[in-house]
Amino acid sequence: MEKKLEILITLWPSFPHFERFARDERLSGIRLNSAMLKSASLEGEFEKANSIQNHVPLYFDIKGNQLRVMESFPYKDHLELEINHPIEVNTPVPVLFKAGADNALLEKVENNNRLIFSRSPEFMVYPGESLHIRDPSLIVQGKTFLDYEIEKIEKAKKAGFKRFFLSYVEGQRDINEFREFVGDSEIVAKIESKKGLSYVQNEFKKKDNLSLMAARGDLYVEIDKPHEMYDALKLIINKDPEGYVGSRILLSMIHNPVPECADMLDLAWLYDQGYRKMMLCDELCLKGESLDRAINVLGAFRDNYAGK
């Protein structure tokens, strides 16, 4: 019998609706996204999670190569940011924020990790947020796993985590280095860039405890043309028939109780390509009521379309 659709979400134990969904039999996994939380707060979050008996399987997300904001300095006439990884890039160059919904022109890079923009983007940029530099001259330098990320990994392991998402996987070296920290734990390698797609095409080999995820939130921003998303998603599921897909799913339900037609057809297309593990985006998971509705819609899709 063909395996039915599995539903995953993103929550933190401190969310008021966490305990309710941590026991939700409709779900197959809950991702804890480490991006916006400092290491010092993790122990309390893990204690809350482990206090719930018979909970849905938990995954911990580690950022790896992803460029993220460490400090933000908004001046009246321009913006300066400090980022996590040192970089080299030809300037001036556009930088995208908010999953591509906002942008600013990067004028220069100082000390390899301080970015100086000629103007501020439309919206505030906060520590922990990601940014995208799509120019081919970009070189991300330094270690894949920064000290504070290693500290998070160690705390997650101490709390008993055996399932991990690894963001921005771009080569087998990333997986090998991560294995040194997490051993034979389950790893879901999030593919979010053109380099990541090259890894899938040329290096990835399916193994026990290693799966791919088409992480559509950032991947859609990083590819050159929107229509390239079709081939990217097909590549990932063809290389890993047990692959995951996440983000940009049922986005119309963030603000509306009923999904738009395009959202339902998107689910059908993903399922027809072979995806059986779907994860809702972070924003849809922030409120219990909207999350419950979205899970109901996915459940109805699972029963009425995927169940046939």
Quickly list H helices, 51-193.
Answer: 147-158, 172-182
pLDDT computed for residue 39 by the predictor: 75
pLDDT at 159: 94
Note the pLDDT of residue 130. Answer: 92
User: Residue 75, SS3?
Assistant: coil
Q: What distance in Å separates the CA atoms of residue 32 and residue 165, rounded to the nearest whole number?
A: 9
pLDDT at residue number 36: 66
Quick: pLDDT tens for 126-137.
Answer: 998 999 999 999
Residue 54: the pLDDT is: 81
Alpha carbon distances (Å) from 214 to 78, 116, 184, 219, 229: 35, 32, 22, 8, 10
> What pLDDT score was predicted for residue 4?
86
Asked if residues 205 and 240 have their Cβ atoms less than 8 Å apart, the reply is: no
pLDDT tens across 70-124, in order?
Answer: 999 998 889 999 999 999 999 999 999 998 999 999 999 999 999 999 888 889 9
- Which residue stretches of the chain have pLDDT < 70? 1-3, 36, 307-308
Contact yes or no for 94/126 (Cβ under 8 A): no
Six token digits for residue 262: 């395009």
- What's the pLDDT score for residue 40? 77
pLDDT of the residue at 308: 62
Residue 255 burial (10 A CB sphere; 0-12, 13-18, 19+): exposed
Q: Does the reported pTM lie above 0.85?
A: yes
Residue 1's pLDDT is 35
CB 229 within 8 Å of CB 269: no
